[in-house]
């Protein structure tokens, strides 16, 4: 499912290129939730930021953070992937996620379609191993836990533990014993 922020802004009569303030973020979140009524379980929602230059940290907190939390805890958990974001959008998302992780001691991240400034496809705090997994699954499309444990030079149970955690963090998809990109 495609969630075009530009189209949402237009329908809500919000002028782009800047999406700022908490109240605006809240409105976008409420609007997105309505659109996500028909999303299937484990479907990928592609959040398209074309036409947006800046989203401020308040908007990130009210819209993106809440949307990611909802993707994990809603009745039908789904996956989120961000695309077409500007450098500033990425910077502000990264800043909020980083502060959140450092202060709450929890991991928080999201998959991206475009390459980020740190040369990966994730914004947020994840371990080096998790980052490697995202990138190798992205290249191969799908991989088994055995193939991944060989690639990572780690024991299978240890690898499976990491993969399960990444799945519950909505960073990779799971199809029986195989793991696929979001």
Give the interface with another protein as residue ranges (CB under 8 A). 15, 17-18, 20-24, 53-54, 56-58, 60-61, 86-88, 91-92, 95-96, 99-100, 102-104
Nearer to another protein, 60 or 181 (CB): 60
Contact yes or no for 77/42 (Cβ under 8 A) = yes
Nearer to another protein, 30 or 102 (CB): 102
Nearer to another protein, 96 or 166 (CB): 96
Contact yes or no for 48/78 (Cβ under 8 A) = no
- Nearest distance from C-beta of residue 169 to another protein, angstroms: 19
> Tokens for 46?
């592609």
- Nearest distance from C-beta of residue 95 to another protein, angstroms: 5
Residue 55's SS3 state is strand
- Nearest distance from C-beta of residue 60 to another protein, angstroms: 7
- Nearest distance from C-beta of residue 116 to another protein, angstroms: 15
SS3 annotation, 148-162: HHHHHCCCHHHHHHH
Q: Rounded CA gap, 134 and 127, in Å?
A: 11
Residue spans of alpha helices (H) in the chain:
5-11, 22-35, 57-59, 66-73, 87-104, 128-140, 145-152, 156-168
- Nearest distance from C-beta of residue 53 to another protein, angstroms: 6
Nearer to another protein, 103 or 176 (CB): 103
Nearer to another protein, 24 or 145 (CB): 24
């Amino acid at each position: 499912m495609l969630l075009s922020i530009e189209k949402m802004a237009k329908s809500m009569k919000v002028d782009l290129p800047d999406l700022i303030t908490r109240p605006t973020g809240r409105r976008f979140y409420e609007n997105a939730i309505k659109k996500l009524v028909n999303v299937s379980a484990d479907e990928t929602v592609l959040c398209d930021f074309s036409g947006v230059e800046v989203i401020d940290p308040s908007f990130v907190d009210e819209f993106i953070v809440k949307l990611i939390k909802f993707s994990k805890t809603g009745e039908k958990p789904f996956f989120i992937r961000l695309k077409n974001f500007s450098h500033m959008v990425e910077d502000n998302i990264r800043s909020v996620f980083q502060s959140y992780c450092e202060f709450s001691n929890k991991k928080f991240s999201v998959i991206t379609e475009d390459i980020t400034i740190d040369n990966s496809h994730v914004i947020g705090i994840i371990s080096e191993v998790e980052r490697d997994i995202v990138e190798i699954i992205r290249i191969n499309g799908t991989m088994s836990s055995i193939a991944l444990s060989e690639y990572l030079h780690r024991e299978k149970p240890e690898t499976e533990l990491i993969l399960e955690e990444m799945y519950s963090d909505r960073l990779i998809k799971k199809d029986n014993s195989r793991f696929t990109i979001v």
